[in-house]
Amino acid sequence: MREQAARERLLRADTEAVILLKSIQAELGSLADAQRDVATDDEHDPEGSTLAWERSQADALRREAEQRRAWIADALRALDEGRYGRCASCGRAIADGRLEARPWTTLCVECAAKPGMGGHH
Ligand SMILES: [Zn+2]
């Protein structure tokens, strides 16, 4: 029962990530168009650097969403293999509240807080 809820949560999170990725890709596409227009007008237009900054922001968001999808895929595999909800570092059960907020997490709160364990988890 609990696993079913976790699976639904992960699938929902994955759908959200896909929707997010689509909107980011659309934004990157329109930014690329805008940048092309700016470049044609004047290479040294300050607007060009704003666009470059916006692109790098959107790019970072895209990487984050892609990373999240990879984590979600890992978590779904862990569910199938019956090791979901266990900390990958210390092996203890991850608190329900944490799994609700970040269903793709592989670390318990204590381990996630340790330096060098990757703050994203
Ligand atoms: Zn742990």
The reply to whether 24 and 77 lie within a common domain is yes
Residue 118 has pLDDT above 80, yes or no: no
The reply to whether 17 and 31 lie within a common domain is yes
The reply to whether 92 and 75 lie within a common domain is no
Model pLDDT for residues 76-87, shown as the tens digit of each residue: 999 999 989 999
Domain range spanning residue 97?
85-121
Ligand 1 center–CA 102 separation, angstroms: 15
Ligand 1 center–CA 50 separation, angstroms: 42
The reply to whether 92 and 56 lie within a common domain is no
Residue pair 18/10 in contact (Cβ under 8 Å)? The answer is: no
Helix (H) or strand (E) holding 65: helix 46-80
Measured between its terminal Cα atoms, the distance across the chain in Å is 24
Ligand 1 center–CA 86 separation, angstroms: 8
The reply to whether 69 and 105 lie within a common domain is no
Specify which residues 86 forms β-bridges with.
93
Model pLDDT for residues 30-81, shown as the tens digit of each residue: 998 988 887 666 556 677 788 889 999 999 999 999 999 999 999 999 999 9
The reply to whether 89 and 40 lie within a common domain is no
Ligand 1 center–CA 10 separation, angstroms: 20
Mean of per-residue pLDDT scores for the chain: 89
Residue 108 has pLDDT above 60, yes or no: yes
CA distance linking residue 34 with residue 4, whole number of Å: 45
The reply to whether 6 and 50 lie within a common domain is yes
Neighbours of ion ligand 1 (CB under 5 A): 87, 89-90, 108, 111
Ligand 1 center–CA 109 separation, angstroms: 7
Find the mean pLDDT for residues 103-119. 85
The reply to whether 111 and 94 lie within a common domain is yes
